[in-house]
């Protein structure tokens, strides 16, 4: 049952993992996002206008925040699972009376905590560079939480599938990174040629970032309700897949 002592202990363990090495898991991603802002903001500020009345630096900040949330939520659950599999201590989680839902929820919640923590840190250090508005705070919170949950779930699936760090790195480098960078973090998809505009609409990460950005400016490339529906459906599909993999013991019980 979610809320049991075992469930809370697993959440605490997974959260403590990244907290103990916060310089690497929190400070380093914040510094990376800061560098992106300084480089792209300096080069394109005054040369690119995406939304009326919104500077390019202001436009860029929500994208960097959400990108940090997504990448770090994925990193937390995926790295934890692959490390546990390689070191052999995953058996101590599987032998507990925790249900598959509890294991899934614990890993996902811890991933969300790390993603949101890094995202908040990125916003705190970058918001000084532009006049930010908060038109719809609930949209900001909804897409941040959904995005972190989705990438935490994807990290769990990747950790289950991978049997060594090379496979996990391939999953991240050839799937997560391209989907993140091609999701409109640095640009509006309406500036793209027709072919790439169509491709962008097939990228679920685009809807997470576009909906998140709408919460700040009240402007977006897609209706936020459409983005919310697509993102929510994507989370349900991934969650069901992750639960099925946990229940079957795929690449876990050997």
Q: What are the tens digits of pLDDT across the range 49-65?
A: 778 888 889 999 999 99
The DSSP secondary-structure symbol of 253 reads -
Please give the pLDDT value at position 143: 97
Give the DSSP H/E element, type plus range, for residue 35. Answer: helix 28-44
Kindly report the number of other CB atoms within 10 A of residue 254's CB atom: 7
pLDDT at 131 > cutoff 90: no
Give the span between the Cα atoms of 82 and 79, in whole angstroms: 5
pLDDT tens by residue, 83-110: 999 988 888 888 888 999 999 999 999 9
Instruction: Give the tokens for residue 2.
Output: 């979610």
Let me know: does 150 contact 54? Beta carbons within 8 Å: no
Please give the pLDDT value at position 228: 97
Please give the pLDDT value at position 2: 63
Mean pLDDT of 173-199: 88
Overall residue count recorded for the chain in this entry: 254
Give the span between the Cα atoms of 235 and 152, in whole angstroms: 10
Please give the pLDDT value at position 254: 61
Give the span between the Cα atoms of 245 and 238, in whole angstroms: 11
Q: Which residue has the tokens 């699972």?
A: 81
pLDDT tens by residue, 15-53: 999 999 999 999 999 999 999 998 888 777 766 677 888
């Amino acid at each position: 049952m979610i809320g049991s002592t075992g469930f809370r202990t697993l959440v605490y363990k997974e959260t403590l993992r990244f907290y103990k090495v916060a310089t690497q898991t929190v400070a380093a991603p914040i510094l990376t996002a800061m560098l992106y802002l300084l480089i792209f903001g300096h080069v394109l500020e005054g040369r690119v206008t995406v939304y009326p009345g919104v500077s390019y630096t202001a436009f860029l900040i929500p994208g960097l925040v959400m990108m940090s949330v997504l990448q770090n939520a994925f990193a937390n659950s995926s790295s934890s699972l692959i490390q546990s599999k390689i070191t052999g201590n995953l058996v101590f989680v599987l032998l507990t009376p925790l249900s598959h839902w509890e294991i899934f929820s614990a890993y996902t919640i811890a991933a969300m905590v790390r993603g949101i923590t890094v995202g908040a840190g990125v916003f705190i250090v970058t918001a000084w560079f532009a006049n930010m508005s908060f038109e719809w705070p609930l949209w900001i919170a909804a897409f941040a939480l959904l995005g972190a949950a989705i990438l935490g779930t994807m990290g769990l699936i990747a950790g289950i599938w991978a049997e060594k760090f090379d496979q996990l790195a391939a999953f991240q480098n050839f799937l997560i990174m391209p989907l993140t960078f091609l999701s409109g973090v640095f640009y509006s998809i309406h500036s793209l040629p027709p072919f790439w505009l169509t491709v962008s609409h097939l990228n679920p990460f685009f809807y997470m970032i576009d909906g998140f950005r709408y919460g700040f400016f009240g402007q977006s490339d897609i209706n936020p309700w459409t983005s919310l529906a697509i993102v929510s459906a994507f989370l349900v599909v991934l969650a069901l897949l992750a639960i099925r993999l946990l229940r079957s013991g795929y690449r876990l019980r050997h």
